[in-house]
Amino acid sequence: MEVKPVKTYKKPGYPDKLAVLNEPELLKSVPERWKNNARALFAMSALFALTAAGCGPVPDVTGGEGDDKNPVLKNNPALVAPIFVHGDGRGGFGCVSVAPPVFLSEEEAMDVIRAEAEAAGISLDSGSLTLKGVRIPKTRYYDTTKDTKKGDLELDGYDPDKGIAVEFVSLEDYHNWHVTEFSWASAGSYSFIDAARLLRDGLEGKTQRTTVGVFYDSAPFDMSLWEKDLSFEEMEEELKMQSIENLRKQVRDFIEWLEGEGII
C-alpha cells in the first residue's frame, strides 16, 4: 500500500473554539450537568480547538493583497478577533456596589496589553489608526447596552508593520459613548463586555485590512473579600490585581488566535 499525504480534510460538523466564542448560545446545547462545570466547558473548548486544527481545511494565507509581513486569509481580508471572555465585565454603582468599584485606566490597561504584545513580537507603540464610519456602542447606565451609532474610532494601539491593532473598552470609553437616558435610579451599572461585543461586531469590514482585537475591563466582583477583614484600600488593590490578570489572559488568547490564523 502506497502511503500518500492527505492534502485536504472535510470541515468538521461540530463547532470549534472560535465558533463558540463568536456564538456563546451554542453552549446551551451541552448537557445541563456540564453547564456549571468550568472544567468541563474548558475541556470542550480545548478539544474543539485541537480537533479543528487537525481536521479542518488548511487556510490559504497567500491570497488577497497580503504579503510576507501581513498575510491575510483569502476570504477574510480584514479580520476582527472574537471577544475572549475572562471576567464578567460588569460593574455597579450606587446601592448595588457591595465591593469597591475598581476600573483600569486606559494607561494601565495599555501597559498590560503592550507588554504581552511585545513578548509576541508585536509593537503597539509605533503608530496610530483611526477607523471611519464604524458602529460604536450606545452605552447606558440604567438599561441594557444593545444599540450602536455610527462614528470614528481611534484605536488604542497599532502595529503598522504587522497590520494589527487593539482597542480596550474602558470606563472612559463607556462615558464617552453614553447616550441620554430617560430613566434614572440611585443605582446603575456598567456593562463593558456587552459594549465590547457590540463594538467588535461594528468593526467587521471597516478595519482597513487591519486585524483588530477588542478587550474589555473585567471590573471584577468578589464577595469573598468581605470575609477576609480587609480595608477598602486592600480590597481595591486585590480587585485591581484580578482585573489586570483577566486582561492579561484576554491578550494571550488574542495572540494565540493570531498564531492560529497565521497572522503572526
Predicted confidence (pLDDT) per residue in 172-198, tens digit: 999 999 887 665 555 567 889 999 999
- Judgement on whether residues 50 and 98 belong to the same structural domain of the protein: no
Rounded distance, CA 22 to CA 27, Å?
11
| pLDDT of res. 224 | 64
| pLDDT of res. 222 | 65
What grid cell was written down for 257? 488566535
- Judgement on whether residues 7 and 133 belong to the same structural domain of the protein: no
- Judgement on whether residues 84 and 175 belong to the same structural domain of the protein: yes
Where are the strands (E) in the chain, listed by range? 90-93, 130-137, 148-154, 157-159, 164-169, 188-191, 211-216
- Answer whether residue 78 shows pLDDT above 60: no
Last residue of a domain, one of 9, 25, 58: 58
Q: What's the number of CA atoms in the CB half-sphere (13 Å) around residue 138? A: 11
Q: What angle do CA 78, 28, 188 make, to 5 degrees?
A: 75
- Judgement on whether residues 223 and 159 belong to the same structural domain of the protein: yes
Residues 6+ apart with CB under 8 A from 159: 117, 122, 123, 124, 126, 127, 165
- Answer whether residue 247 shows pLDDT above 90: yes
| pLDDT of res. 187 | 52
Residues 6+ apart with CB under 8 A from 98: 223, 226
Residue entry with cell 476570504: 75
- Judgement on whether residues 47 and 79 belong to the same structural domain of the protein: no
- Judgement on whether residues 211 and 92 belong to the same structural domain of the protein: yes
| pLDDT of res. 225 | 60
- Judgement on whether residues 103 and 54 belong to the same structural domain of the protein: no
Rounded distance, CA 237 to CA 223, Å?
14
- Judgement on whether residues 41 and 129 belong to the same structural domain of the protein: no
- Judgement on whether residues 109 and 159 belong to the same structural domain of the protein: yes
Task: pLDDT band for 56, please (50, 70, 90 cuts).
Answer: very low
Residue 150 gets the label, from left (phi > 0), alpha (psi -120 to 50) or beta, of beta
Domain range for 108 is: 62-260
**Cα dihedral angle (25, 27, 53, 252), rounded to 10 degrees?**
80
- Answer whether residue 206 shows pLDDT above 80: yes
The 10 Å Cβ neighbour count of residue 128 is 13
Residue 45 or 155, more confident: 155
| pLDDT of res. 73 | 42
Q: What's the number of CA atoms in the CB half-sphere (13 Å) around residue 184? A: 2
Give the rounded percent of residues in the chain with a pLDDT score beyond 70.
58
Last residue of a domain, one of 41, 58, 75: 58
- Judgement on whether residues 171 and 105 belong to the same structural domain of the protein: yes
Whole-number Cα distances in Å, 93 to 101, 182, 226: 7, 18, 17
Question: Bridge partners of 149?
Answer: 136
- Range 58-77 burial, b when 16+ CB lie within 10 A, else e: eeeeeebebeeebbbbeeee
- Judgement on whether residues 217 and 235 belong to the same structural domain of the protein: yes
CB-based burial label for 96 (10 Å; 0-12, 13-18, 19+): middle
- Judgement on whether residues 40 and 107 belong to the same structural domain of the protein: no
Report how many domains make up the chain.
2
Residue 169 or 179, more confident: 169
Task: Please give the single-letter amino acid code of residue 38.
Answer: A
Residues 6+ apart with CB under 8 A from 31: none
Parallel, antiparallel, or unpaired: how do β-strands 211-216 and 164-169 relate? parallel
